[in-house]
């Protein structure tokens, strides 16, 4: 299939200006995390031999290299071209002009009706006055004259009344029409008309026939992102997960009642496996090395920002059985979610939220966590095991516990952690207090020695046993002149990371039970030194 040159495109467009274009209907859309592939169809009546047709309703910002045309019936596509239709603004002007012309005609008719109403009303008044004058004259009034005047009044009064009622009804209809026309002009004037794409085809058909043309292409003007709702009812039940897709597109075309496939893939025309080059070492002066490092720091910052932006993207309630209409399949480079329900997505970028899946996360462990040296609160934490096996894309998640919203977190399947940790919030029924209960300082020779003792009290005011992990710390020396020794530890720590100075306590507290953890450490250092104690 050979592409047309710019000259051929112009010739084809000029040849087909007189022909009514055919409108391609959008049948299916595959939306990627960035971009979308549109599949459209149009029925084309062809004559035997050469045919030139124009197809409209194509997205204006497509990747022309991705454009594919498929025809049956032995039809040969001799050449084709994609171009933009800039006639939308002219169409808008034509529509507005026609409406304004109709409005002027209606306004003129209304003015004429109002004049006729005024005339008929005046004629009624004059008729009544004339009859009254004839009947009240002092002379020449006979019975025959009265009868004649009454007949005249009856005949003409009924006719005037009939004409007046009809004209008033006409006025009412005209006023309604004028109001409707003004509203329509306002709507047309405020409507955004974007340029659209058209495809011009030169075809050769072996016979007179009507064939269906399939059109497929890729556009970058669409995207979708994933979010999750994690619902926790209690600490003894699985976590309910709802996966939602946020779909948006700004092609300028409305995807009306279209079947969607959502893909975690991201097509790119620049995909190429990297090649590793030789790393040549050479001397660099300090100034150049500093400049080079700063330059790469800027690049690194930009790279992180770009990734963060890529990760970030009218809420309609979905049926509880939506999952039966979603088919998940794993492709070579992506996971696809084919939805067999039709959706309408506006072409203005307005986001549509679609529920994709609902599932229960059974392998969940709950535990409390506290670091009193930084925050005297006990946080309820949920650990989801086997998250990588869920085959779900990364996305932000909103947490709800027992009907209360607890904020958002990020769920990442590419994490090296074996499980996902979700912090649900602090529990005020677990009381924690960490105090400095003793401090001693003495100087011996050239050294100074300081001892600190901290006591942490933890009490469970809940009606059930709780498991809680408590972390505390002691200082770690970075110089041989500074010596640190850990003294009294009333409660044995579960683990002691001496390189980091972190103590971990895994505790179980019965309802109403209190425990104390005492941590004492001594620091010895040269007395003339100032250290960050």
Q: What's CA 128's distance to the chain center, in Å?
A: 72
> Tokens 């683990």 map to which residue?
495
Mean pLDDT score, 244-264: 92
Domain spans of the chain? 6-86+195-219, 90-190, 222-269+281-313+315-426, 430-526
What pLDDT does 205 receive?
94
What pLDDT does 70 receive?
92
Mean pLDDT score, 146-165: 71
Burial of 372 (0-12, 13-18, 19+ CB in 10 A): buried
- Find out whether 108 and 223 touch, Cβ atoms under 8 Å: no
> Tokens 């970075």 map to which residue?
478
**pLDDT at residue 217 greater than cutoff 90:** yes
> Tokens 């959502």 map to which residue?
262
Mean pLDDT score, 29-44: 94
- Find out whether 223 and 255 touch, Cβ atoms under 8 Å: no
3-state SS track over 88-155: HHHHHHHHHHHHHHHHHHHHHHHHHHHHHHHHHHHHHHHHHHHHHHHHCCCCCCCHHHHHHHHHHHHH
Paired strand residues for 79: 202
- Find out whether 205 and 374 touch, Cβ atoms under 8 Å: no
What pLDDT does 128 receive?
73
Q: Is 280 left (phi over 0), alpha (psi -120 to 50) or beta?
A: beta
Q: How sure is the predictor about 45, in pLDDT bands with cuts at 50, 70 and 90? A: very high
pLDDT digit string, tens, across residues 328-372: 887 777 888 999 889 999 888 888 999 888 888 888 888 999 999
Number of neighbouring beta carbons within 10 Å of residue 141: 13
Tokens encoding 67: 């454009």
Sheet of 352-361, strand order: 352-361, 239-249, 222-232, 395-401, 404-411
When mean pLDDT is compared across 122-126, 313-317, 337-341, 446-450, the lowest value belongs to: 313-317
**pLDDT at residue 393 greater than cutoff 60:** yes
When mean pLDDT is compared across 172-181, 336-345, 464-473, the lowest value belongs to: 172-181
Q: What's CA 369's distance to the chain center, in Å?
A: 35
| Domain boundaries 430-526, CATH class | mainly beta
To the question of domain 90-190 being in CATH 1.10.287, the answer is yes
Looking at mean pLDDT, say which of 265-279, 367-381, 396-410 comes out highest.
Answer: 367-381
How far apart are the C-alpha atoms of 503 and 251, rounded to whole Å? 57
| Cα–Cα nearest to 215, from 1, 461, 431, 42 | 42
**pLDDT at residue 532 greater than cutoff 80:** yes
What pLDDT does 407 receive?
82
pLDDT digit string, tens, across residues 2-24: 444 444 444 444 444 445 789 99
What pLDDT does 359 receive?
87
The alpha-helical segments, DSSP class H, found in 313-472 are none
- Find out whether 461 and 429 touch, Cβ atoms under 8 Å: yes
Which DSSP category does 533 fall into?
A: -
Sheet of 255-263, strand order: 62-71, 209-219, 36-46, 25-31, 255-263, 335-345, 326-330
What pLDDT does 187 receive?
67
pLDDT digit string, tens, across residues 64-77: 999 999 999 999 99
What pLDDT does 195 receive?
65
Rg (CA), the chain: 41
Does 286 or 84 have the greater pLDDT score? 84
- Find out whether 406 and 414 touch, Cβ atoms under 8 Å: no
How far apart are the C-alpha atoms of 519 and 436, rounded to whole Å? 10
What pLDDT does 493 receive?
87
What pLDDT does 14 receive?
43
Does 432 or 153 have the greater pLDDT score? 432
């Amino acid at each position: 299939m050979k592409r047309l040159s710019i000259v051929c495109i112009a010739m084809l467009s000029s040849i087909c200006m007189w022909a009514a274009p055919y409108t391609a209907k959008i049948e299916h859309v595959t939306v990627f995390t960035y971009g979308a592939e549109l599949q459209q169809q149009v029925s084309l009546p062809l004559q035997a031999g050469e045919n030139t047709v124009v197809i409209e309703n194509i997205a204006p910002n497509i990747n022309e290299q991705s454009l594919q045309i498929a025809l049956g019936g032995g039809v040969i596509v001799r050449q084709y071209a994609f171009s933009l239709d800039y006639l939308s603004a002219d169409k808008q002007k034509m529509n507005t002009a026609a409406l304004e012309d109709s409005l002027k005609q209606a306004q003129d008719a209304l003015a004429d009706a109002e004049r006729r109403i005024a005339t008929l009303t005046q004629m009624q008044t004059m008729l009544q006055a004339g009859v009254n004058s004839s009947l009240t004259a002092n002379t020449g009034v006979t019975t025959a004259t009265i009868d004649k005047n009454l007949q005249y009044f009856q005949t003409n009064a009924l006719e005037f009344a009939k004409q007046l009622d009809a004209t008033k009804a006409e006025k009412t209809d005209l006023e309604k029409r004028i109001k409707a026309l003004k509203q329509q002009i306002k709507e047309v004037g405020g409507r955004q008309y974007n340029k659209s794409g058209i495809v011009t085809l030169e075809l050769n058909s072996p016979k007179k026939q009507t064939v269906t043309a399939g059109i497929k292409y890729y556009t970058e003007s669409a995207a979708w992102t994933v979010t999750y709702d994690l619902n926790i009812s209690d600490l003894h039940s699985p976590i309910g997960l709802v996966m939602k897709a946020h779909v948006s597109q700004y092609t300028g075309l409305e995807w009306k009642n279209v079947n969607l496939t959502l893909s975690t893939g991201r097509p790119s025309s620049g995909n190429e496996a990297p090649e590793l080059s030789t790393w040549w070492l050479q001397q660099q002066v300090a100034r150049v090395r500093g400049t080079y490092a700063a330059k790469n720091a800027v690049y690194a910052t930009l790279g992180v920002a770009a990734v963060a932006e890529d990760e970030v993207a009218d809420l309609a309630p979905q049926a509880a059985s939506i999952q039966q209409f979603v088919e998940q399949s794993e492709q070579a480079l992506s996971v696809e979610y084919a939805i067999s329900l039709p959706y309408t997505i506006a072409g203005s970028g307005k986001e549509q939220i679609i529920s994709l899946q609902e599932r229960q996360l059974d392998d969940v462990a709950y535990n409390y966590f506290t670091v009193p040296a930084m925050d005297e609160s006990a946080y309820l934490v949920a650990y989801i095991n086997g998250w990588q096996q869920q085959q779900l894309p990364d996305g932000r998640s909103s947490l709800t516990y027992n009907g209360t919203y607890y904020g958002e977190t990020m769920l990442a399947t590419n994490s090296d952690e074996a499980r996902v940790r979700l912090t649900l919030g602090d529990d005020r029924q677990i009381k924690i207090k960490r105090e400095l209960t003793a401090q001693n300082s003495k100087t011996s020779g050239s050294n100074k020695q300081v001892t600190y003792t901290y006591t942490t009290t933890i009490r469970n005011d809940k009606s059930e046993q709780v498991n809680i992990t408590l972390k505390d710390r002691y200082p770690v020396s970075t110089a041989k002149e500074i010596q640190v020794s850990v003294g009294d530890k009333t409660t044995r720590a579960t683990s002691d990371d001496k390189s980091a100075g972190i103590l971990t306590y895994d505790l179980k507290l019965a309802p109403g039970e209190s425990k104390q953890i005492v941590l004492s450490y001594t620091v010895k250092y040269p007395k003339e030194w100032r250290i960050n104690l």
